[in-house]
Structure 1
Amino acid sequence: MSFGNSRSWVGSWAQAAVMLAGGLSSAWAQAPWPATQFNPVAAADDVVLPMPCGGSMAFRRVNVPSADPLDDRRVQLGNAEARFGYAEATRTDYVAGGFADPKAKNQRYYLIGKYEVTQAQYDALSGTCKAPTEDHRLPKTSLTWTEAVFFSGRYADWLAKNAAAKMPSDEGTPGFVRLPTEGEWEFAARGGIAVQETVFEQTAFPMAEGMQRYVWYAGTESSNNELNVIGLLKPNPLGLHDMLGNAGEFVLDPFRLNKHSRLHGQAGGYTVKGGDYRTPAADIRAAARIESPPVDKNGERREKTTGFRLVVVPASLPTPARLNAVRTLWGNLAQSPPGGGTGAAAQALADPVKEVEALAKAVNDPALKSRIEGVGGVIKANIQARNEQRDRSAKSEVRVGAYLARKVIEDRGKIKSLESTIAGPMPEDMKAPFRSNLAASKDALDANLNYLIDTLKQVGLDFPTASISAQGEILKREFEARKVPGYGPLVDLVVRYSLGVRTGKPIDKTALANDLGKL
Structure 2
Amino acid sequence: MCKNHSIWLAVSLAYLLSSAANAADNAMTWSEKFYNPQPATAAQPADLILPMPCGGAMTFRPVDIPAADWLDDQPVELGDSNSERGYKEGRRLSYIAGSFSDRNKAARLYYIGKYEVTRDQYATLMDKDCPQVGMRGRQPITGMSWFDAVAFARQFTEWLLTHARDALPHEDQEPGFLRLPTEEEWEFAARGGLAVDAADFLATRFIMPDGELADYAWYESSGSAGGKLRPTGLLKPNPLGLHDILGNAAELTLSPFRLDRHGRTHGQAGGFVSRGGDIFTPEIQLGAAWRQEHNYFDAKSGRAKSLDSLGFRLLLTAPVIVSNERLNAIKDSWKDLPVMAGTTGVDAMQALTQLKTLSLQTPDSVMRTRLEIIQRDLEQSQSAINEARQRALRALLRTGAFMGKRVVTDIKRAEVLKQLQKMAQDRFEDLRDRVKNDPEGRRLLDQARAKLEEKQTNWQESMQEIETSLANSVGYYADMTVNVGMDYLDTEINTQQPVVEAELTAKHNTYLIPYLRVFVTHLQAYHQTRAVDKTVWQQELLHAEPVSP
The alignment's TM-score, normalised by the length of structure 2, stands at: 0.82
Asked if the contact 2:71/2:334 (under 8 Å) is kept, the reply is yes
SS of the residue aligned with 1:74?
Answer: strand
Corresponding position of 2:375 = 376
Aligned counterparts of 1:98 and 1:64: Cα–Cα separation in 2: 9
Corresponding position of 1:325 = 329
Corresponding position of 1:58 = 59
Unmatched tracts of structure 1, length 5 or more: 1-23, 341-346
Return the match for 1:33 from 25, 30, 33.
Answer: 30
Asked if the contact 1:27/1:129 (under 8 Å) is kept, the reply is no
- The CA deviation at 1:501 is 3.2
Corresponding position of 2:283 = 281
Tell which deviates more after alignment, 292-301 or 505-514: 292-301
Aligned counterparts of 1:438 and 1:349: Cα–Cα separation in 2: 52
Corresponding position of 1:21 = none
Corresponding position of 1:256 = 258
Aligned counterparts of 1:252 and 1:479: Cα–Cα separation in 2: 51
Aligned counterparts of 2:342 and 2:207: Cα–Cα separation in 1: 43
Write the letter of the residue equivalent to 2:312.
Answer: F
Compared CA separation, residues 412 and 312, structure 1 to 2 (3 A): same
Tell which deviates more after alignment, 112-121 or 251-260: 251-260
SS of the residue aligned with 2:95?
Answer: strand
Corresponding position of 2:14 = none
Corresponding position of 2:154 = 153
Larger Rg belongs to:
2
- The CA deviation at 1:82 is 3.2
Corresponding position of 1:226 = 228
Return the match for 2:516 from 480, 491, 494.
Answer: 491
Corresponding position of 1:114 = 114
What CA RMSD, in Å, does the superposition of the two structures yield over aligned residues? 2.6
Corresponding position of 1:179 = 180
Write the letter of the residue equivalent to 2:331.
Answer: R
Aligned counterparts of 1:72 and 1:181: Cα–Cα separation in 2: 15
Higher percent of residues as helix: 2
Asked if the contact 2:112/2:314 (under 8 Å) is kept, the reply is yes
Write the letter of the residue equivalent to 1:114.
Answer: K
Asked if the contact 2:74/2:95 (under 8 Å) is kept, the reply is yes
Aligned counterparts of 2:23 and 2:168: Cα–Cα separation in 1: 23
- The CA deviation at 1:218 is 3.0
Asked if the contact 1:349/1:355 (under 8 Å) is kept, the reply is no
Aligned counterparts of 2:63 and 2:142: Cα–Cα separation in 1: 25
Corresponding position of 2:124 = 124
Aligned counterparts of 1:111 and 1:158: Cα–Cα separation in 2: 18
Aligned counterparts of 2:165 and 2:293: Cα–Cα separation in 1: 35
Compared CA separation, residues 152 and 423, structure 1 to 2 (3 A): same
Write the letter of the residue equivalent to 1:357.
Answer: K
Corresponding position of 1:136 = 137
Compared CA separation, residues 29 and 442, structure 1 to 2 (3 A): closer
Aligned counterparts of 1:509 and 1:480: Cα–Cα separation in 2: 28
Corresponding position of 1:68 = 69
- The CA deviation at 1:142 is 0.9
State how 1:58-457 maps to structure 2 within 5 Å.
58-104=59-105, 106-126=106-126, 127-210=128-211, 211-294=213-296, 295-299=298-302, 300-333=304-337, 334-336=339-341, 350-424=349-423, 425-427=426-428, 429=453, 430-457=455-482
* 1:117-159 CA-partner distances (Å, limit 9, x unpaired): 1111111112432342332211111111111111112222222
* 1:287-334 CA-partner distances (Å, limit 9, x unpaired): 111222332434443221110000011112223333333333333331
Compared CA separation, residues 27 and 358, structure 1 to 2 (3 A): farther
- The CA deviation at 1:348 is 9.7
Compared CA separation, residues 359 and 170, structure 1 to 2 (3 A): farther
The alignment's TM-score, normalised by the length of structure 1, stands at: 0.87
Aligned counterparts of 1:391 and 1:29: Cα–Cα separation in 2: 59
Return the match for 1:516 from 519, 523, 541.
Answer: 541
Give aligned-pair identity as a percent. Answer: 35
Write the letter of the residue equivalent to 1:477.
Answer: A
Aligned counterparts of 2:33 and 2:325: Cα–Cα separation in 1: 42
Corresponding position of 2:12 = none
Asked if the contact 2:28/2:52 (under 8 Å) is kept, the reply is no
Write the letter of the residue equivalent to 1:369.
Answer: R
Write the letter of the residue equivalent to 1:306.
Answer: L
Aligned counterparts of 2:31 and 2:477: Cα–Cα separation in 1: 47
Write the letter of the residue equivalent to 1:415.
Answer: A
Aligned counterparts of 1:457 and 1:393: Cα–Cα separation in 2: 16
- The CA deviation at 1:220 is 3.8
Asked if the contact 1:218/1:278 (under 8 Å) is kept, the reply is yes
Write the letter of the residue equivalent to 2:34.
Answer: Q
SS of the residue aligned with 1:125?
Answer: helix
Asked if the contact 2:203/2:531 (under 8 Å) is kept, the reply is no
* 1:73-97 CA-partner distances (Å, limit 9, x unpaired): 1112122233433322222221110
Asked if the contact 1:118/1:137 (under 8 Å) is kept, the reply is yes
Aligned counterparts of 2:231 and 2:383: Cα–Cα separation in 1: 61
Asked if the contact 1:357/1:376 (under 8 Å) is kept, the reply is yes
